[in-house]
Amino acid sequence: MKLSIHDRLRRRDLLQLLGSAALALPALELFEGAARAQTSTTSKFAVFIYTPDGVNQNAFWPTGNTNSFQLSPILSPFEPFKDKILILGPQMNGNSPIGGTGLTYCTGCGGTVGADHVPLQHQAVVCLSGRGRGSSGDIPYISPQDSAVNKLDGPSVDTVIGEAVKADSPFATLNFGIHPVGGDTPSDINFADDGTPLKRMSTPDEAWNRVFGMPVMSQSGSLADQHKLTALSNYLHGRFAGLKPQLSAYDRQLLDGHLSSLRTYEDRKSKQFKMQTSGCTQPTKTAVPTDDTSIRTGSDTQMLAPFYLDIISSAFACNISKVASVSFGYPGGGDAGGLRMPWLGFNDPMHFVSHHGADQAKLDKYMKMSQWIASQIAYLMSKLAATPDGTGKTLLDQTTIYWFNRHGDGDAHSNTNLPNVILGGTGGYFKMGRYLQLPATNPTKVLISIANAMGVNLTSFGKDAFKDTAPLAGLTG
Amino acid sequence: MKIRARFSKAALQPWFALMVSLAACKGEILGGQGSGNNGVPTSVSGGGADTGTSGGAGATAIDCQAPHAPALHARLLTPSQYDNTVTDLVKVDGDPAKNFGGGVATQLDDLGVELRANAAADIAHQAVLSLANWSPCVSPPADATACEQQIIDKIGPQVYRHPLATDERAELQTLFDAGVQEKDFATGVEWFLSGVLQSPDFLYQLSKLQTAEVSGKLVAIPPYELASRLSYFIWDSTPDDALYAAASSDALLDSAGLQSQLDRMLKDPRFLRGVTGFYTSWLNLGGFREVARDDPAFTTDIASSLRTSLLMSATELYRGMTPPNVSSLFSGTSYYLNGTLRTFYGLPGTDTAFSPTEMPSEERRGILTHPGLMALLARPDQSNPISRGLFIRRTILCQSLPPPPAGVVIPPLPPVAAGLSTRDRLDQHTKVALCASCHDLIDPPGFALENFDQVGRHRTADSGKATDTSGTMSGAGDLDGAFATGGDLLSRMAQSQDVKACFAQKYFEYAVSRLAADEDACSVDALKQDFVPSGDLLALVMSIANTDSFRFRLSEGTP
């Protein structure tokens, strides 16, 4: 069946799209049917960027006032995007944030303890889920070997949004992790509908193959692949069915979850994916060093971050997903490994510099690491700004980026003055280009606001002390 | 064979420590001496998501006259178990599970499924190309049908780890036939292998319901399941034919039959894999993949050599003629160094391969002062007494400690400067009462190791000041008391009963792939009774396999 004039891919575009994979032209026949490919006028996108370990509070907050402000050293990479930033700051005393103001986990809890004697400030806060771990009634955190126990009772907000706006994109969300060597341990950021912690893509190959390894790009002939997938699916579903009656209640649930994931995977593999055309290009695969020394020193992160961000930009352009997240490192991170940035001139992991003890040398490194992450987000913004969304706007216009942290000041593991920022055009939903100084505010409100910005009407989110039922007032204007 | 940490870096991440009381550290350390529970709230027993804690002190007393065991849930093969099994069954190498990530009890999400699907496809593809290495019959087979049957009959039970039921066999036949139908015999093999390597039968160690199970009653783990449990513990891989034969004849159900297999398994070369698996976890060897130090001479070659050397400290004990003993682990001044490391540490010797090298003048005491371990537990430009101290508390003494208390303004540390040693800079920990409550417990064992710098070199000065490795241990069972030098403390550790008891517990936890639960208390105590007097590392493995916790499970009833 011939392509219509409107959705025919030019050969040049296709080869650019497929990169070095030499594919015979007959693959064009796969782009059949009506021009589904255009992004709908209401398509919006969201990116959640997580960094652990707080920030150098002396170098994060702008000066000036709501509509006329000067960016701090850490935020300086966003200078070209000042009209597309919304800083959710604390109230300030001169140049210092007032503790207990701004985005604060568990407002009013400070210093008090929960029923199991865990001070609520020190609970592991599950940032995108509006929950704490270790408070009474919540699920304690056990080391990853028993991670099934670390299920929450529901999804993180990125999953909620991703599932709601997915439409015919193959992925509800794309989750990336820097820098878990040996494969990801399940996330404390991303959770599936049933509360299962979600893994993040952790290597460049894994990410590239997952996102771009659509059947349409298969070289081996799609019909044989379909038959194989069907035969395997029949066999595997038979196994799950055959085993179920032989298992305990707990194990049935475990395997049901696995089967559900298998179905998600099979659905995606079996669809003939129709590509968005406008702006849809594929990033170069070979840019990231994967040798032992680059991984050992963490220098690969310098290439890995923009590579993942390129994938996100392309995924949005190609309608592969509308929601993505990137976790820069892990909370804590120990001594060996964790987030390092040797190209900045030092080997210290983020966690170490976050415990700055007011040492100026460490504070300086701490600032530089956060600043580099800001520069990466600015890079993403520039990629999105350069990509049309097919309706006359750019992807950046339609994207909401949320850069969020688990702590305010990493040294004291504080849960107040969180350095969280909204960026992007947000589809015109938020009034951007402002620096807000907020009283004590439940960060869950921001999660509700972002869901609303994406067209998802959340009336309540989170649990216990972290629960909220309203968006944050004042964000939309 | 690539060696990887199976578990997370939890031992080095104070942030993840689960605490029960923060009022003060003193008196609040749980676990250690005499306790079957290391104080961390336990999991998996009782089914479903555990919300409560079951702390050590104050738990209802268990009568050890009767056998006890917790419930046993499905466990994913770990990455090394998956890799070893694939090597054993179809002779394909290359670490296909390298990015599976941790989490034995994980519920697989769509990415986890995809990783395993891709790995299965790759392995199947390679196995077809090297059919002669593993298949009972070759390709193109003279009689394809007969060869198909042979492959199903051989590999099917091996991937499911039990004899095939009729319907199970039929399903495999259907899958294989579909591939043959699609193209040819080789495609049949490929589809068959792709499928079985993704099957839940393969990916999990499963506990299947017995007839009419009663909730709360103990169930003996049946022979084939026990065979898997034994082989994945002792060999870090799938059972072999002899173990299946023992399962089939019920030999594993009586102590003589079990012992016979244990004797055989511990003498088998595959035992080294199981040993490697334990020590990789215990020492967190995965950390070497990400250890960077400011010293430009600390290269990737050094880091990987140190990793190998550290592992060999343990595994070589199992190769000698003398039965390996835990006291050898904690003593000795000789380490397996290669040429690269000898040059780095300024030691004589021309042998480029790993060989025993003396470091006697440096007051080394076995594995705890191994240069690699010292380098691992450090910062890029300085030692880290806190992470070293925590390692001693958590990994060596099985104690858990909470993170810093909330709302405390942590006093500023003086920066690294001439005349201030690492120890000096941490002095606030002892001067400020709130800090001291925990740091008096954490810091001393870390200070004991201050003669070893951030790349594992011995030193007697730090930032121009003489190192001070004296201190006092408290809340440390038979290690309590003052020590004049780090060497004194380390010598005491080599003799300590509490250290041995904790080692037994750690090995047990590795064997059962989870933290010790209340229902394990009797098993763990019995283990400690056996192990502490003897220190016999082979007997420990056998004792673990003989515990009630290993051979029984608590029924959660039939749903």
DSSP calls for B151-219: HHHHHHHHHHTSPPPHHHHHHHHHHHHHHHHHT-HHHHHHHHHHHHTTSHHHHEE--PPPTT--TT-EE
Instruction: Check if the beta carbon of residue B136 is closer than 8 Å to that of residue A286.
Output: no
B471, HSE (Cβ side, Cα atoms, 13 Å): 29
Alpha carbons within 13 angstroms on the beta-carbon side of residue A85 total: 29
Q: Which two tokens stand for residue A394?
A: 């750019």
Mean pLDDT of A244-263: 95
Q: Supply the pLDDT for residue A116.
A: 39
Give how far the C-alpha of residue A90 lies from the chain's centroid of Cα atoms, to the nearest Å.
24
Contact A117 B117 (CB under 8 A): no
* Coil/strand/helix, residue A103: strand
Per-residue confidence (pLDDT) for residue B414, from 0 to 100: 63
B98 Cα to chain A: minimum distance (Å): 6
Query: How far is CA A367 from its chain centroid?
Result: 22
Strand partners, A388: A394
Map tokens 């792709």 to a residue: B194
Contact A342 B379 (CB under 8 A): no
Q: Does B214 touch chain A (CB under 8 A)?
A: no
Residue A39 CA to residue A391 CA, distance in Å, equals: 7
Are β-strands A96-97 and A92-93 bridged in parallel, bridged antiparallel, or unpaired? antiparallel
> Which residues 350-379 of B are in CB contact (within 8 Å) with A?
376-379
Torsion angle in degrees (nearest 10) through CA of A225, A230, A235, A236: 80
Give the whole-angstrom CA distance, residue A389 versus residue A383. 12
pLDDT tens digits in sequence order for chain B, 559 residues long: 333 333 333 332 222 222 222 234 654 444 433 333 333 322 222 222 322 333 344 445 778 999 999 999 999 999 999 999 999 999 999 999 988 887 777 789 999 999 999 999 999 999 999 999 999 998 566 788 999 999 999 999 999 999 999 999 999 999 999 999 999 999 999 999 999 999 999 999 999 999 989 999 999 999 999 999 999 999 999 999 999 999 999 999 999 999 999 999 999 999 999 999 999 999 989 889 889 999 999 999 999 999 999 999 999 999 988 999 999 999 999 999 999 999 999 998 878 899 999 997 788 999 999 999 999 999 999 999 999 999 999 999 999 876 656 555 555 556 656 678 889 888 766 777 777 888 899 999 999 999 999 999 999 999 888 999 999 999 999 999 999 999 999 999 999 999 999 999 999 999 999 889 999 999 999 999 999 999 999 999 999 999 999 999 999 999 8
Q: What's the pLDDT at A399?
A: 98
Report the distance separating Cα A287 and Cα A208, nearest Å: 12
Chain B residue numbers with beta carbons less than 8 Å from the beta carbon of A146 are 43-44, 103-105, 514-515
Show residues of chain B in contact with A192, CB under 8 Å. Answer: 109
Q: Which residues contact B256 (CB under 8 A, 6 or more apart)?
A: none
Q: Is A111 on the interface with B (CB under 8 A)?
A: yes
Instruction: List B residues 475-514 in contact with A (Cβ-Cβ < 8 A).
Output: 513-514
Tell me the residues of chain A between 378 and 397 that have a Cβ less than 8 Å away from chain B. Answer: none
pLDDT at A3: 30
Q: What is the Cα–Cα distance from B122 to B200, expressed in whole angstroms?
A: 18
Whether the bond between B140 and the residue before it is cis, its omega within 30 degrees of 0, is yes
The pLDDT of residue A181: 62
Measured CA to CA, the distance from residue B180 to residue B243 in angstroms comes to 33
Query: Which DSSP helix (H) or strand (E) runs through A216?
Result: none
Least confidently predicted of A249-258, A262-271, B229-238, B396-405: B396-405
The predicted structure's pLDDT at residue A363: 94
pLDDT of res. B105: 76
Specify the pLDDT at position B51: 29
Q: What CA–CA distances, in Å, run from B226 to A140, B206, B214, B258, B360?
A: 31, 10, 20, 10, 45
pLDDT value for A330? 67
**Per-residue pLDDT tens over the stretch A339-378:** 899 999 999 989 889 988 788 889 999 999 999 999 999 9
**Minimum mean pLDDT range among A161-175, A186-200, A431-445, B516-530:** A186-200
Query: Which runs of consecutive H residues, i.e. helices, occur in A6-80?
Result: 11-18
Q: Pick B100's closest partner by Cβ from A183, A249, A332.
A: A183
Nearest CA to A420 out of A438, A399, A394 is that of: A438
ipTM (interface predicted TM): 0.88
Distance (Å) of CA A427 to CA A376, A400, A423, B73: 21, 8, 11, 47
C-alpha to C-alpha distance for B304 and B375, rounded to whole angstroms:
12
In the prediction, which pLDDT does A172 show? 95
- Given a contact cutoff of 8 angstroms between Cβ atoms, the answer to whether B271 and B234 are in contact is yes
DSSP annotation string for A271-307: S-PPPP-TT-----GGGS--SHHHHHHTTTHHHHHHH
Per-residue pLDDT at A56:
96
- What is the per-residue pLDDT for B106? 79
Distance set, CA A74 to CA A51, A178, A371, B138 (Å): 13, 20, 4, 64
* pLDDT value of position B249: 96
- A240–B292 C-beta distance less than 8 A: no
Q: Does A436 touch chain B (CB under 8 A)?
A: no
Stated pTM of the model:
0.88
Question: Which residues in A lie closer than 8 A to residue B200 (C-beta atoms)?
Answer: 239-240, 243, 255, 258
Are A335 and B378 within 8 A, CB to CB?
A: yes
Find all residues with CB under 8 Å of B330, minimum gap 6, and list them.
Answer: B365, B366, B367, B368, B490, B493, B494, B499
DSSP code at position A418:
-
Measured between CB atoms, which of A117, A242, A297 is closest to B21?
A117
CA angle centred on A270, ends A265 and A271, rounded to 5°: 105
Residue A212 confidence (pLDDT): 87
Interatomic CA distance for residues A72 and A79, integer angstroms:
10
pLDDT tier for residue A331 given thresholds of 50, 70 and 90: low
Q: What is the pLDDT of residues A102-158, one digit of tens each?
A: 998 866 554 444 433 344 444 567 789 887 765 433 444 445 444 555 778 889 999
Segment A357-368, tens digit of pLDDT: 788 889 999 999
Nearest to A336 among B74, B290, B410 (CB): B290
CA gap A119, A100 in Å, rounded: 15
Lowest mean pLDDT among A7-11, A462-466, B225-229: A7-11
* Å between A67 CA and nearest CA of chain B: 33
Q: Which residues of A touch B114 (CB under 8 A)?
A: 210, 265
Contact predicate B121/B194, CB 8 Å: yes
Residue B15: its chain A contacts at CB < 8 A? 124, 331-332, 413
3-class secondary-structure state, position B243: helix
